[in-house]
Chain A
Amino acid sequence: MRLCLVLSFLAVAGPGLAEIIDRVAVIVGDGVITESEISRQIRITAFRNREKPVFTPESRRAAADRLVEQALIRREIDVSRFATATTVEYDPIYREFRKITYPSDEAYKKALADYGLIDGDLQENFQWQATLLKFIDVRFRPGIQVPESELADYYKGKFVPEWTKNTAKAAPAYDEARTDIEKILASERTDNALDRWLGQTRTQTRIIYKEEAFR
């Protein structure tokens, strides 16, 4: 009799069990990042890197961190009424990605389905990437200036040794390499400025990770 009861439970219990299908995972100021958004982020990143998506608590946490930064930047973009990238701006890199990674439409669609994504997810991701680059360039790059002495120091201390090591040839003259060095250093400083801003904004924003979403 007892056995019958157990069997009948097993027969009916499955369909009736409740499952959390989505929830708030991180609170960022007045907005939230949901658990499904984190999963989507992992899948997109894996898709673009042609890797298998990993949904461990650590990878979920890392994806959440990236989404928090996105949320902070998005908020700044909204406040400053910065224009998001247009199709013209992001479509070339999107097409380039498809051409290189999934040359045929079928392979692309199958891969998307395998990763649980749709084409819109990927386009949105490319649009965001283009918007972000544009924003960084407008918001942080103009204030960056690299003194001539640092360019010269970099040339002597890093550029020449690495060039020699990598190419086994004589390094170009300073004047020839100067523009590239300036780009490298300016880029480093821009990244630093962005990091500083993000760090500062994080401290001023209420950010709460809901632990139950990362177990």
Chain B
Amino acid sequence: MRLRFGIRLLMMLALLARPHAIFPSPADFEGKQIVGIRFEPANQPLLASDLAERILPLKAGFPLRLYEVRLAIEDLYGSGRYEDVAVDASSEADGVVITFITREALFIRGVVVDGVGEPPNPGQLVNATKLQLGARYTESQMKQAVESLLELLRVNGYYKATITPQVTPADAQQVDIRLQVDSGKRAKFDTPVIKGNPHRSVEDLIKATRWKRFFGFLGWKEVTETRVSQGLDRIRQTYQKKDFLMAKATLDRIDYKEDANRVVPNLDVEGGPKVVVKARGAKVSKGTLRTLVPIYEEQSVDKDLLVEGKRNLMEYFESKGYFDAAVDFDIGKTDKGEELIEYAIARGNRHQLAVLEITGNKYFTTPTLRERMYITPATFIRFRHGRYSGAYLKRDVNAITDLYRSNGFRDVQVTSTVEDDYQGKEQNVAVLLNVKEGVQWLVEKLEVAGVSDEQLPEIQGLLHSTEGQPYSDLNVATDQDSVLNYYYNAGYPDATFEAAVTPSAAPYRMNVKFTIKSGQRRFVRNVLVSGLKTSNPDIVSSRISLHTGEPLSQVSMIESQRRLYDLGIFARVDTALQNPDGEEHNKNVLYRVEEAHKYSLTFGFGAEIARIGGGSQVNLDAPGGTAGFSPRVSLGISRTNFRGVGHTVSLQTRVSTIQRRGVLTYLAPQFKGNPDKNLTFTGIYDDSRDIRTFSSKRTEGSVQLGQRLTKANSMQFRVGYRRVTVDQNTLKITPQLIPLLSQPINLGLVSSTFIQDRRDDSSDAHKGIYNTIDVAFAASIFGTMQQITTDPKTGLQSSVPCQAPAAGATAPDQCGKARPSFTRALGRNATYHRIGKDLIFARVLSIGTLLKSSAADVPLPERFFGGGATSHRGFGENQAGPRDATTGFPVGGKALLINTLELRFPLIGENIGGVFFHDAGNVFSNVGKITLRSSQRDLNDFDYMVHAVGFGIRYRTPIGPVRLDLAYGINTPRFIGFQGTRDELLFGGGVRTEQRISHFQFHFSLGQAF
């Protein structure tokens, strides 16, 4: 016992006597030789080379300097990879060992908010957290995120919501954040407290908010942020409608009744005086006043808005040709004591901008300048009075000035003169613009500093400000953007660019010096992908073009993101740098994906109005078709990301009175990771009567490989097999041909299509070329055996059916069987040319031929049919070409030649255009029968060119122009038709009459004709 006490005492004394030996101070280590450097933990988040660089000059064998330790800590933390760093030193026999004790920083990999019914939607919830992909994760941020989220939930009625954050560590210093929300029940509205002087009853205001269900019979609605703001808007609107334009309705606060889970909005509502806005001196509709005077839109009345209204009214009248219009406004009271805002308008005489003349321009041609101008002289129909106003003129003068300045004409002066009663013609206005170009400044000498010899040619290739070229501030700014983009994309995010410009000794010359500091180059450390659930990681990684060790290119990051979106399987793809603010040479690149819903359902309905009527199953009266109406319903279902490999399976169905169609597709986009290839498997069932002559059922299976060769050129290769059954009860042809043409047909087709698309806009082209060549071969091996007849005299074989042999006799020798085999080629060449500023000349030539290579004839459904909105507009849908000699219904041809010319022009304003067109051509019996002859020889001659001219209107919409074409067929075919029923056709009766395709055709559809 005594001994123990003695030991304790001894130890205490020893500690007191040698404090430095047992608890050394940092200064005790200063200058001692470093004999070892360790890290705890041994695995550090920085790359070994980066780590060694950051702790320099602390090295084994060198003396320890405490300020160097401090710098090392600062540098390590500056990398962004650490949350804490401490340095520990311990004496060894021959020096000191220092140990870096570190704690890694964490970075956000993904944020998920669960357990909340919409609204707010998932995107709003995640955005509210303000937790960014790749950013450093901190507890304080998490607290803020929870607070922000609770606030968002409260404004959406979830007052009882609680949030449980879950932070799950992941690889590469990442964490997944899940905010599990127990939202509780959404609160409902309660009777609001109305303050102020609303001039209305509370009931009226509540009714305006629509916060009650079904006029209040079903109680109050649940609270959402949108409902609150919409309620306030609606209150304001009710005042607006009654001209209380100064009315105010604001939300003061919301009180929450916890026991009842209800909220009481406290509203400040001020009805204010009634404001009457009138126009005096000219007729302006109330609607126009509402559009032009912004007090309605802003829901406020102040002088600035009234002045803006005055300016808008002036421009409105100027645009109508009242170029001298003067507008002012008075504020007063009406007899009833209401506020009166009266715009006094003096329109003056109506003018016409007859002349727009530009003089003095040499460097730029007048059309070049006109292209940049908004003011337009009067034209027939489109701009009856021209387009002119003071503001437009000012804008145009500035546009021309800027154009010259950007091309080195630093001293350019553009002046405008407006002459009324031009050349003595009353009300004619001329705008005369005079350009004093001055001298063009050029770059005398260009110096690019800070760039290596290897990079210099590439950088110079990006520059506009090269020696001998025009000097302008715009060019310098453009050069700055180009150079910095080049560096950013090459992995230099800290690159800087400075331009110094000094006048040269030579007049009108500038010396330009660009100094570029590239800064530290950054590289890709790793590419980290997260968020995949069912998708195969390979389909993502194969689309990311950034790889470890490569320069960190922003373009590649964005491009890879685009490719991932293009897969069509992700609802969201975010990309970011991990540790964006950290000073690291090698950065992790993050891709966070959110897989889209796997199933999507589409439903649509519509109608077709065209010459699709007539010729019903029992009546054969109208082989040329009559105006008809066909309602249609479509339903589609798609399964994206099938088996997690980014493929899509979809079923599209359409049912109308003339068609029942189902298409099952399996699409493999970016086939085998190649963005230029896609593979499609298709199965089709089609039961249609779009050709008036017959109804057919088609079942088809095909495989297509699509390949984009260049930006403009692509190829498609297809192999398909189809079975077509023609319903013999619907065939409206010569009875003797029915058994033959109603035979079920099996066809195996190998086809290829080349597409060249150089149009500027595929839905409404203004210039460019569009060519397609389609070649298909139907091999006899897959075809259905057909009866054929051999002419004993000529030896020619044809698909005329054999006559049944007489009783007891054998079949004649000339009867046989063959399978159909043919080659089908169809070429199309379309070009689009701009004429002047507004006119577009477009043309398309389509040539096709069917060449049979067996005795069996080409089956009816495989023949060319033509005519209609996207073909020859002189015909109704599929009405061109050869017709049945008995019934007059079209039976298709084996050759096709159609040429279309169109002149497209603006008609009224910006959105309505017009078209004059000429369609010429036909579907011919065979390629040898193609002719340019325009006359029909007899009632059985359909092999001639049919010409049609017409006029169309186009209304521009975001999905392409809506089109109405009216065509007049000049030499439409006459033919023998049959008036009677099908029974009469088969069993006798009915009348054969001469008929003619109507001269007038109309076509209504979406998109240009070609």
Q: Is the CB of A22 within 8 A of B80?
A: no
Chain A residues positioned under 8 Å from B138 (CB to CB): 206
Q: With A22-B69, A30-B78, A32-B77 known to touch, is A6 a contact of B11 (CB < 8 Å)?
A: yes
Chain B residues positioned under 8 Å from A23 (CB to CB): 73, 84-87
Q: Does any Cβ of B come within 8 Å of A83's Cβ?
A: no
Q: With A19-B29, A22-B69, A31-B74 known to touch, is A2 a contact of B7 (CB < 8 Å)?
A: yes
A191 to chain B, nearest CB (A): 29
Q: Is the CB of A16 within 8 A of B91?
A: yes
The distance in angstroms between the C-alpha atoms of A116 and B67, with both chains bound, is 12
> Among B7, B73, B89, which residue has its beta carbon within 8 angstroms of that of A6?
B7
Q: Does any Cβ of B come within 8 Å of A100's Cβ?
A: no
Q: Is the CB of B87 within 8 A of A16?
A: no
Please report which residues of chain A, range 193-215, place their CB below 8 angstroms from some CB of chain B when the two chains form the complex: 206, 208, 210
What total of chain B residues lie within 8 Å of the partner, measured CB to CB? Answer: 42
> Among A6, A13, A210, which residue has its beta carbon within 8 angstroms of that of B22?
A13
A22 to chain B, nearest CB (A): 5
Chain A residues positioned under 8 Å from B73 (CB to CB): 22-24, 32, 34
Q: Annotate B14-34 by CB proximity to A: 1 below 8 A, 0 otherwise.
A: 100010111111111100000
Q: Annotate A24-43 by CB proximity to B: 1 below 8 A, 0 otherwise.
A: 10010011101011000000
Q: With A7-B10, A19-B24 known to touch, is A32 a contact of B86 (CB < 8 Å)?
A: no
Nearest residue in B to A118 (C-beta to C-beta)? B67
Q: Does any Cβ of A come within 8 Å of B602's Cβ?
A: no
A77 to chain B, nearest CB (A): 17
How would you classify the secondary structure of chain A's contact residues: helix, strand, loop or mixed? mixed
Q: With A15-B91, A206-B138 known to touch, is A21 a contact of B21 (CB < 8 Å)?
A: no
The distance in angstroms between the C-alpha atoms of A38 and B640, with both chains bound, is 60
Q: Does any Cβ of B come within 8 Å of A10's Cβ?
A: yes
Q: Is the CB of A34 within 8 A of B10?
A: no
With a 10 A CB-CB cut-off, give which of A15, A21, A116 has the most chain B CB atoms: A21
Q: Does any Cβ of B come within 8 Å of A3's Cβ?
A: yes
The distance in angstroms between the C-alpha atoms of A44 and B11, with both chains bound, is 38
Q: Does any Cβ of A come within 8 Å of B124's Cβ?
A: no
Chain A residues positioned under 8 Å from B29 (CB to CB): 19, 21
Nearest residue in B to A212 (C-beta to C-beta)? B86
Q: Does any Cβ of B come within 8 Å of A88's Cβ?
A: no
The distance in angstroms between the C-alpha atoms of A16 and B92, with both chains bound, is 6
Q: Is the CB of A116 within 8 A of B27?
A: yes
Q: Does any Cβ of B come within 8 Å of A14's Cβ?
A: yes
Nearest residue in A to B20 (C-beta to C-beta)? A14
Q: Is the CB of B74 within 8 A of A32?
A: yes
Chain B residues positioned under 8 Å from A16 (CB to CB): 90-92
> Among B14, B87, B93, B140, which residue has its beta carbon within 8 angstroms of that of A20?
B87
Q: Is the CB of A31 within 8 A of B22?
A: no
The distance in angstroms between the C-alpha atoms of A7 and B582, with both chains bound, is 50
Q: Is the CB of A30 within 8 A of B89?
A: no
> Among A17, A22, A32, which residue has its beta carbon within 8 angstroms of that of B26?
A22
Nearest residue in A to B82 (C-beta to C-beta)? A24
Q: Does any Cβ of A come within 8 Å of B581's Cβ?
A: yes
Q: Does any Cβ of A come within 8 Å of B3's Cβ?
A: yes
Please report which residues of chain B, range 86-107, place their CB below 8 angstroms from some CB of chain A when the two chains form the complex: 86-93, 98-99
B136 to chain A, nearest CB (A): 8
Q: Does any Cβ of A come within 8 Å of B836's Cβ?
A: no
The distance in angstroms between the C-alpha atoms of A19 and B19, with both chains bound, is 13
B5 to chain A, nearest CB (A): 12
Nearest residue in B to A18 (C-beta to C-beta)? B90
> Among B66, B84, B92, which residue has its beta carbon within 8 angstroms of that of A22?
B66
The distance in angstroms between the C-alpha atoms of A15 and B91, with both chains bound, is 5
Chain A residues positioned under 8 Å from B66 (CB to CB): 21-22, 36
B403 to chain A, nearest CB (A): 35
The distance in angstroms between the C-alpha atoms of A17 and B89, with both chains bound, is 8
Please report which residues of chain B, range 276-291, place their CB below 8 angstroms from some CB of chain A when the two chains form the complex: none
The distance in angstroms between the C-alpha atoms of A34 and B21, with both chains bound, is 24
Q: Is the CB of A2 within 8 A of B21?
A: no
Q: With A21-B88, A36-B26, A206-B140 known to touch, is A10 a contact of B11 (CB < 8 Å)?
A: yes
B537 to chain A, nearest CB (A): 33
Q: Does any Cβ of A come within 8 Å of B6's Cβ?
A: yes
Q: Is the CB of B23 within 8 A of A19?
A: yes
With a 10 A CB-CB cut-off, give which of B3, B74, B98 has the most chain A CB atoms: B74
> Among A19, A31, A34, A36, which residue has its beta carbon within 8 angstroms of that of B90?
A19
The distance in angstroms between the C-alpha atoms of A22 and B89, with both chains bound, is 9
Q: Does any Cβ of A come within 8 Å of B70's Cβ?
A: yes
Nearest residue in B to A210 (C-beta to C-beta)? B84
Q: With A7-B10, A17-B24 known to touch, is A22 a contact of B70 (CB < 8 Å)?
A: yes
> Among A2, A6, A30, A116, which residue has its beta carbon within 8 angstroms of that of B582?
A30
Q: Is the CB of A21 within 8 A of B84?
A: no
The distance in angstroms between the C-alpha atoms of A124 and B1006, with both chains bound, is 76
Q: Is the CB of B86 within 8 A of A14?
A: no
Chain B residues positioned under 8 Å from A22 (CB to CB): 26, 66, 69-70, 73, 86-87
With a 10 A CB-CB cut-off, give which of B70, B84, B89, B98 has the most chain A CB atoms: B70
Please report which residues of chain A, range 69-116, place their CB below 8 angstroms from some CB of chain B when the two chains form the complex: 116
The distance in angstroms between the C-alpha atoms of A19 and B27, with both chains bound, is 11
> Among A10, A13, A21, A37, which residue has its beta carbon within 8 angstroms of that of B98?
A21
Q: With A2-B3, A6-B7, A210-B84 known to touch, is A17 a contact of B90 (CB < 8 Å)?
A: yes
The distance in angstroms between the C-alpha atoms of A77 and B256, with both chains bound, is 47
B162 to chain A, nearest CB (A): 26
Q: Is the CB of B85 within 8 A of A24?
A: yes
Chain A residues positioned under 8 Å from B7 (CB to CB): 2-3, 6
> Among A2, A17, A21, which residue has its beta carbon within 8 angstroms of that of B69?
A21
Chain A residues positioned under 8 Å from B25 (CB to CB): 19
Chain A residues positioned under 8 Å from B74 (CB to CB): 31-32, 34
Chain B residues positioned under 8 Å from A20 (CB to CB): 86-88
The distance in angstroms between the C-alpha atoms of A30 and B23, with both chains bound, is 32
A5 to chain B, nearest CB (A): 9
Nearest residue in B to A5 (C-beta to C-beta)? B7
Chain B residues positioned under 8 Å from A32 (CB to CB): 73-74, 77, 85
> Among A13, A31, A116, which residue has its beta carbon within 8 angstroms of that of B78?
A31
With a 10 A CB-CB cut-off, give which of A22, A30, A37 has the most chain B CB atoms: A22
The distance in angstroms between the C-alpha atoms of A32 and B79, with both chains bound, is 11
Q: Is the CB of A6 within 8 A of B10?
A: yes
Nearest residue in A to B582 (C-beta to C-beta)? A30
Nearest residue in A to B93 (C-beta to C-beta)? A15
Nearest residue in A to B583 (C-beta to C-beta)? A30
Chain B residues positioned under 8 Å from A31 (CB to CB): 74, 77-78
Nearest residue in A to B68 (C-beta to C-beta)? A22
A70 to chain B, nearest CB (A): 14
Nearest residue in A to B28 (C-beta to C-beta)? A19
Please report which residues of chain B, range 754-793, place their CB below 8 angstroms from some CB of chain A when the two chains form the complex: none
Please report which residues of chain B, range 623-657, place their CB below 8 angstroms from some CB of chain A when the two chains form the complex: none
Nearest residue in B to A13 (C-beta to C-beta)? B22
Chain A residues positioned under 8 Å from B581 (CB to CB): 30
Please report which residues of chain A, range 106-139, place their CB below 8 angstroms from some CB of chain B when the two chains form the complex: 116
Please report which residues of chain B, range 345-399, place their CB below 8 angstroms from some CB of chain A when the two chains form the complex: none
Chain B residues positioned under 8 Å from A17 (CB to CB): 22-24, 90-91
B81 to chain A, nearest CB (A): 12
Chain B residues positioned under 8 Å from A206 (CB to CB): 138, 140
Chain B residues positioned under 8 Å from A6 (CB to CB): 7, 10-11
A-B contact pairs, 22 of them (CB 8 A): A2-B3, A3-B3, A3-B6, A10-B11, A14-B22, A15-B91, A16-B91, A17-B23, A17-B90, A18-B99, A19-B28, A19-B29, A21-B69, A22-B26, A22-B87, A23-B85, A30-B80, A31-B74, A36-B69, A36-B70, A206-B138, A210-B84
A14-B21, A18-B88 given; name 15 further pairs at CB < 8 Å: A10-B11, A14-B24, A15-B91, A16-B91, A19-B26, A19-B29, A23-B87, A24-B73, A24-B84, A24-B85, A30-B78, A31-B74, A116-B27, A206-B138, A206-B140
Q: Sort A-B residue pairs by CB-CB distance and give the 8 closest, nearest first.
A: A14-B21, A23-B86, A21-B26, A18-B90, A15-B91, A32-B77, A21-B89, A10-B14
Interface, chain A (partner B; CB < 8 A): 2-3, 6-7, 10, 13-24, 27, 30-32, 34, 36-37, 116, 206, 208, 210
